[in-house]
Amino acid sequence: MTSTIVPATGRGVERAQDDRVPSIELHVGDGPIAETLRGALDLIFASGLLRPGPPGGRPDLIHTVGDVGRWTSERQPGRTLPLVHTVDRVPLRGNGLAPRRRWVRRERARRRSLWLTHGRTSGRLVVEAGLAPGERIRCLPVLPAVMPTGGSGASRSEVRRALGVGPGVRLVLGEGGGRGRTETWSAAIRNLGRCDLVALATRPQAGRAFSLPELLAAADVFIAAGHELTAATEGAAALAIGLPVVALTTDATAELVSPGRSGIVVTPRPEAIADAVVALVDGGRTTRRPPAPGRCPAEIMARELVEIYSGLAPLPPQLRRWGR
């Protein structure tokens, strides 16, 4: 992953150029939360409470995200520089909730003042792996991998027609990739022999050029079949539009699902996934629930980050008041 130093953008940046305002330097690679973090920092810069770190200068705080290398306080001679690190993914061993040893060894070499994880499960695994004590961890929300298109793009009927999904047929959509596991769960659904179910993966295939929001709008059930805990998930995007979700325990979406209401949480076995889909369909629970109104992810992240940054010296106490 290539790291980039994210500059400030937007109309509020000029307001935060006062040298008396604390500065922050964000290092983030390409990933699903990069855009959200950029938007969150721009909102904070627009508030005038923080400013971008001066090019080649000394920021008051460094925030790294994911695997972007090691950063120390050597750039700040004679002072301790607050370091914040966001864990954007926790790769798991097998089908259990244990991080891969290689990942743990790499993360153990990092020095951080504070660790941020997206989801409580990721935070628990960081503690259990001995990477950081609980008092040095803050858990942030699991984010949607994409945001709804707001009505743009192909319609639900157009997508279903192009995919060959007929009237009365339930489209079961699930995450692609994962070392062939998607093919395994989709095969388990096909093996049910039910003509009212069609199982498809979200990963690109020949002749299918629809975006994820278009596919989610056309689906009746979504399978959150990730085998690592990521900061942003397709399952969270499905839940955001009220789509019923079957979430594996190895997917970060699982902690967002309200069993019996928004979906079902199952073990990572193809048969368990197929049984959950049947339970949703036969139980009449594939009707979309109206999504709860909420703020955009960038605004949510901005307020969370302000609360976190406000607890790190030398940031001023007025940051806490803005975050409430």
- The CATH topology of domain 3-144+296-323 is Rossmann fold (3.40.50)
Show the tokens assigned to 70: 């090691």
pLDDT at 6: 43
Sign, CA torsion 162/144/61/133? negative
Show the tokens assigned to 43: 């909102």
What's the CATH code, domain 156-282? 3.40.50.2000
Residue 324 CA to residue 322 CA, distance in Å, equals 6
Residue 166 CA to residue 264 CA, distance in Å, equals 25
pLDDT at 57: 77
Sign, CA torsion 115/118/123/129? negative
What are the angstrom distances between the C-alpha of 50 and each of 71, 254, 315? 20, 34, 9
pLDDT at 67: 80
Sign, CA torsion 224/229/230/236? positive
pTM over 0.95: no
The residues spanned by each domain of the chain are: 3-144+296-323, 156-282
Taking 3-state DSSP, the helix, strand and coil percentages for the chain, each rounded to the nearest 5, stand at: 35, 20, 45
Radius of gyration of the chain (CA): 21
CATH fold match for the domains 3-144+296-323 and 156-282: yes
* Among 164, 161, 186, CA closest to 173: 186
With a cut of 50, which residues of the chain have pLDDT below it?
Answer: 1-16, 72-76, 78, 177-180, 182, 206-207, 322-324
Name the packing angle between helices 181-190 and 270-282 (round to 10°). 50
Q: What is the three-class DSSP state of 121?
A: helix
pLDDT at 229: 95
